[in-house]
Chains A and B, each alone.
Chain A
Amino acid sequence: MTWTFLIDALVTVIGITTPILLAASGELVVEKSGVINLGIEGMMLVGAITGFAVAFEFSNPWIGIGAAALAGVATSMIFAVLVLSLGTNQVATGLALTIFGIGLSSLIGTNYTGFAALPFDPPFPDALVQHPIWRVIFGHSVFVYFAFLLVFTIGWFLSSTRAGLVLRSVGENDFSAHSIGYPVVAIRFAAIAFGGAIAGIAGANFSMVITPMWAEQMTAGRGWIALALVVFAGWRAGRLLAGAYFFGVLMTLELYAKASGYAIIPSQFWAAMPYLIAVAVLAFISSRDGKSGKEPACLGKPFLPNG
């Protein structure tokens, strides 16, 4: 009984962590290039409704995921053009992107409210999932495996490839990278597009697997948690994985607390917990790493090559 309970809890944690891990991985790449995109929440929502709707219309979840990624890219490009080509403030533009994403997804979603998502089974055969222990490894949706693959690939890309080195250089010192001859703006466009695609997929993970249906603002602030997570992780992929699971456990606690009806601590306390902890962790990380920390030196600063 306890055994199954633990297995269930672990499976829940893994499932609930995945979209945050995905969104944060995408944002990590964006921030490493020196851009902070506060529009994750908006891109996730657009991805969520697009993935849901396209999978629903085509009766094919894979097309849905692809469409969610494309929708994420398209949304992120609004941000990219404003921030990179027109030099707008990144905080305000990112925020606008979130408001835009909330509005656009609700608009598209009016016709899809109340439907259940297309069933999307784990990729492994049922036989493998029979035993509870195997379920922990093989019993997840394709998003879970993709997220693991992604976070390790990003870690390797940033630390061990030349392209990763160039990306980091653009985030460390855009002016120098430009004077050496790297296309700063193009590289940042690519990073933002990548972040958009991954945020779109993270959104689809919500609407196609976790909930699984469409509801307005269904991501409920997870995009912001993903942003905090990148700071939490000190802009390192390995710590991103650990941090995401930390938040995943907190959110699972909330679910279990609600379900148990345990009344001494109100459920609202558990719901507020991830955000309170995120703030506390930000304070801890910031005070330890100081101002310079591991933050890409050009993060959030506009770069216009000609002035």
Chain B
Amino acid sequence: MTTNARPRDWIARLEMRSITKAFPGVIANSDVHLSVQPGEIHALLGENGAGKSTLVKMIYGIMAPDSGTMLWEGQEYRAPNPRAARKQGIGMVFQHFSLFEAMDVVENIALGLDSAISRSALDREIRAVMDKYGLRLDPRRIIATLSVGERQRIEIVRALLLNPCLLIMDEPTSVLTPQEVEDLFVTLRRLASEGCSILYISHKLHEIVELCDRATILRGGKVVATCDPRKETPRSMGEMMIGSDFADPARGVANTQGAVRLSMRDLSLPKPDDFGVALQSISFDVHAGEIFGIAGVAGNGQNELLDALSGESLADRNDAIRIDKDPMGRLGPTKRRALGLCAVPEERNGHAAIGNFTLADNAFLSARTRMGLDPNGIIDRSGAEAYAQAVIKRFSVKALGPRALAGSLSGGNLQKFIMGREILQNPSVLVICQPTWGVDAGSAAAIHQAIIDLANAGSAVIVISQDLDELLRLCDRLSVINGGKLSASRVVNEVSVEELGLLMGGHHDQTIASGGTHAPRA
């Protein structure tokens, strides 16, 4: 990395001037200025939808700006495609990995390189880079068999093989355990010390305080501030990011003493497909008035567990799952709803809701049984519209009305609609996967409050989330899911982040030494 060694601090490695990019109906970036120095770890901070991803896609040549200029070490820079960007010395690690499931690590890396290189030579180079940065991975493994953290390592190796001068990391820690995050930070600091610039995209404030030299904060597509994170607190940066004070939801008194409303006993399910996770002997109880959290890194069985609860996949025994003592392990979603169990899957588009359907149709999809919208198999249209209208009104969903297409709503509004659709059915048990994934702060607060209200009214609520902060704020008890196994539950006030981190990394049986920092709790 000889080019990196020259100290040229007075010329930015990358500078963006007045960058503007619009999509139909939304301006993703407006008059954005950004400069990244050699050897600097520069945070790009903003909420989901603030325009971070669009901005870096323009740097990496995936999109072209509508207007504005970019400079690379003082020269005008244009990347018509990612290949040109890589040639310039820019590497990128995506939030969603561009990996090929059915191929092995070497083939995947070969595809990311722009010149042909023999398999054996590439194998050697990969091992050399991994040794140098302390990354562990067998180059011959098929991607489908790798964990999310291992997949990210491939992307990093792929980027590093090109000796980049600027490495873009798009939300790299959203899928990692706290320990894996530490390992990643070691690698990144080492790279920066060698002169490589790092553009680090995140919305996690404490990470940025810990890692970055400088931060540019985006809100609504515009730069609202540039600051030195070491001189800021997570709270002050959070306010700049969101533009208003953090509004913490009011939980009131936690309740773990109510009657058991949902119990799962020794539920095991085989993998649904090659890329899925098998559930292994899962048992837990949730009480009336309680919010029970399930933490874990993505891809450890969360979706499988939600499907098992909602009835999309059936248990092998009817008594594996009980709601208010009624066994329902062999019942499908419609019958489970009739018994009082409602669910909100993680994926909004195409699972919890259908973009091409109206809100009334989407209301009918999961509320028809409890709300009596399908007498004798005939659709009660006006009833469905009235119910959709009630959800819209009660949850302040910004939509034209019950006949608006679900796909025309923003992520936050659609999520509010989906949550409202289930909550207004007055379920005895509500299971929610990733309640605020990709949702704006205002909607997230409203959703959290709705969850709390539902629990306070006596329902049992299960929240499955990868966002530890969310779980710690919201829940009374927590378990961690890892590799399809669920840990014993912990009362939230008595658990440390370190302990949760170890559980998320799969250290189930390890006795945790006391003395870890206690999680902050609102």
Contact flag (A, B; Cβ within 8 A): yes
Question: Which residues of A come within 8 Å of B, CB atoms?
Answer: 162, 165-166, 168-169, 172-173, 175-177, 179-182, 290-292, 294, 297
Q: Report chain B residues within 8 Å CB of A175.
A: 98
* In the bound complex, CA of A172 to CA of B97 (Å): 14
Choose among A162, A179, A181 the residue that contacts B116 (Cβ–Cβ < 8 A).
Answer: A162
Provide a sorted-by-A list of 23 A–B residue pairs whose CB atoms are within 8 angstroms. A162-B110, A162-B116, A165-B107, A165-B111, A168-B103, A172-B102, A175-B98, A176-B97, A176-B99, A177-B111, A179-B82, A179-B98, A180-B111, A180-B112, A181-B81, A181-B82, A181-B86, A182-B111, A290-B274, A291-B273, A292-B273, A294-B102, A297-B102
Partner of B100, one of A162, A172, A181, A291: A172
CA distance A181 to B274 in the complex (A): 28
Contact of A180 among B82, B103, B275 (CB under 8 A): B82
Min CB–CB distance A49 → chain B (angstroms): 39
Other contacts beyond A162-B116, A172-B100, A175-B98: 12, CB < 8 A:
A169-B103, A169-B111, A172-B101, A176-B97, A176-B98, A176-B100, A179-B94, A179-B98, A180-B82, A180-B111, A291-B273, A292-B274
B354 at the interface (CB under 8 A from A): no
Q: Is B181 an interface residue, CB under 8 A from the partner?
A: no
Within residues 60 to 110 of chain B, which ones have a CB less than 8 A from any CB in chain A? 61-62, 81-83, 86, 94, 97-103, 107, 110
Chain A residue at smallest Cβ distance from B57: A179
* A-B pairs with lowest CB-CB distance, top 9: A176-B98, A181-B82, A292-B274, A172-B100, A181-B83, A162-B116, A179-B98, A169-B111, A173-B100
Q: Is the CB of A166 within 8 A of B111?
A: yes
Contact (Cβ within 8 A) A169 B100: yes
**A295 nearest CB across to chain B (Å):** 9
Q: In the bound complex, how far is the Cα of B274 from the Cα of A176, in angstroms?
A: 20
Q: Number of B residues contacting the other chain (C-beta, 8 Å)?
A: 23
Q: Inside 8 A of A182's CB, which chain B residues have their CB? A: 111
Interface of A (DSSP majority class): helix
**How many angstroms between the C-alpha atoms of A292 and B102 in the bound complex?**
10
Residues of B within 8 A of A291 (CB): 273
Binding site for A on B (CB under 8 A): 61-62, 81-83, 86, 94, 97-103, 107, 110-112, 114, 116, 273-275
Assess the B110–A165 pair: CB atoms within 8 A. Answer: yes
Q: List, in ascending order, chain A residues with CB within 8 A of B62's CB.
A: 179
C-alpha spacing A169/B110, complex, angstroms: 11
Q: Name the residue of chain A whose CB is nearest to the CB of B84.
A: A181
- Cβ contacts under 8 Å, B107 to chain A: 165
Question: How far does the alpha carbon of A181 sit from the alpha carbon of B112 in the complex, in Å?
Answer: 9
Complex contacts, A181 vs chain B, CB 8 Å = 61, 81-83, 86, 114
CB-nearest residue of chain A to B99: A176
**Docked CA distance A179–B158 (Å):** 14
Shortest distance from the beta carbon of B349 to any chain A beta carbon, whole Å = 14
What is the bound-complex CA distance between A226 and B97, given in angstroms?
35
> Which of chain A's residues has its CB closest to B144's CB?
A292
* Residue of A172, A175, A292 ringed by the most chain B CB atoms within 10 A: A172
In the assembly, what is the distance between CA of A168 and CA of B101, in Å? 12
Output the least CB separation between B114 and chain A (Å): 8
Q: Which of B82, B99, B112 is in CB contact (< 8 Å) with A173?
A: B99
The distance from the CB of B139 to the nearest CB of chain A, in whole angstroms, is: 15
Inter-chain contacts of A180 with B (CB < 8 A): 82, 98, 111-112
Are B103 and A172 touching (Cβ within 8 A)? yes
Residues on B with C-beta less than 8 A from A168 are: 100, 103
Nearest chain A CB to B5's CB is how many angstroms away? 28
Chain B residues whose CB sits within 8 angstroms of the CB of A173 once the complex forms: 98-101
Residue of B nearest to A182 (CB): B111
Residues of A within 8 A of B275 (CB): 292
* Complex: A103 Cα to B273 Cα, angstroms: 43
Chain A residues in 8 Å Cβ range of B61: 181
Taking the closest CB of chain B, its distance from the CB of A248, in whole angstroms, is: 30
Separation in Å of the B234 CB from the closest CB of chain A? 31
Interface centre among A162, A169, A290, A291 (most CB of B within 10 A): A169
Nearest B-chain residue to A176, judged by Cβ: B98
- Of B94, B101, B110, B116, the residue contacting A297 (CB under 8 A) is B101
Contacts of B116 in A (CB 8 A): 162
Q: Which chain A residues border B86 with CB–CB below 8 Å?
A: 181
Most buried by A among B100, B101, B116: B100
A175 to B98, CA, bound (A): 7
Q: Residues of B contacting A294 with CB < 8 Å?
A: 102
CB distance from B157 to the nearest CB of A (A): 14
Docked CA distance A166–B112 (Å):
10
Q: Interface centre among B94, B98, B114, B116, by most A CB within 10 Å? A: B98
| A168–B114 CA distance with the chains assembled, in angstroms | 16
Contacts of A179 in B (CB 8 A): 62, 82, 94, 98
Residues of A within 8 A of B112 (CB): 180
Residues of chain B within 8 A of A176, CB atoms compared: 97-100
The CA-CA distance from A88 to B97 in the complex, in Å, is: 27
| A292 vs B81: C-alpha distance when bound (angstroms) | 32
Bound together, the chains give a CA A175 to CA B97 distance in angstroms of 10
Closest Cβ of chain A to B415, distance in Å, is: 22
- Please measure, in the bound complex, the distance between the C-alpha atom of A169 and the C-alpha atom of B101, giving whole angstroms: 10
A166: shortest Cβ distance to chain B, in Å? 7
Q: Which residues of A contact B111 (CB under 8 A)?
A: 165-166, 169, 177, 180, 182
Cα–Cα, bound, A180→B61 (Å): 10
Docked CA distance A169–B111 (Å): 8
Report the nearest B residue to A163, measured CB to CB: B116
**Smallest CB separation, A302 vs chain B (Å):** 15
CB-CB under 8 A from A166, the residues of chain B are 111
Give the residues in chain B near A290, CB-CB below 8 Å.
Answer: 273-274
Q: Which residues of A contact B273 (CB under 8 A)?
A: 290-292
Q: Tell me the nearest residue of chain B to A173, going by C-beta.
A: B100
Q: Tell me how far the C-beta of B85 lies from the nearest C-beta in chain A, rounded to whole angstroms.
A: 8
Q: Tell me, in angstroms, the Cα distance from A128 to B82 when the chains sit together.
A: 57
Cβ–Cβ < 8 Å partners of B103 in chain A: 168-169, 172
Query: How far is B98's CA from A182's CA once the two chains are assembled, in angstroms?
Result: 12
Which residues of chain A are near B82, meaning CB under 8 Å? 179-181
Contacts of B274 in A (CB 8 A): 290, 292
Q: Which residues of B contact A169 (CB under 8 A)?
A: 100, 103, 111
Q: In the complex, what residue of chain B is closest to A160 when comparing beta carbons? A: B119
Cβ of A32 to closest chain B Cβ, rounded Å: 11
Which residue in chain A gives the minimum CB-CB distance to B274? A292
A163 to chain B, nearest CB (A): 9
Q: Smallest CB-CB separation from B115: which chain A residue?
A: A162
Bound-state CA distance A180–B100 (Å) is 11
Closest to A162 in B: B116
A291→B346 CA distance, assembly (Å):
23
Bound state CA distance, A159 and B99, in angstroms? 18
- Measured CA separation A166–B111 after assembly (Å): 7
User: In the complex, what distance in Å separates the CA atom of A182 from the CA atom of B86?
Assistant: 13
Residues of A contacting B114 in the complex (Cβ-Cβ under 8 angstroms): 181
* Chain A residue nearest to B85 in the complex (CB): A181
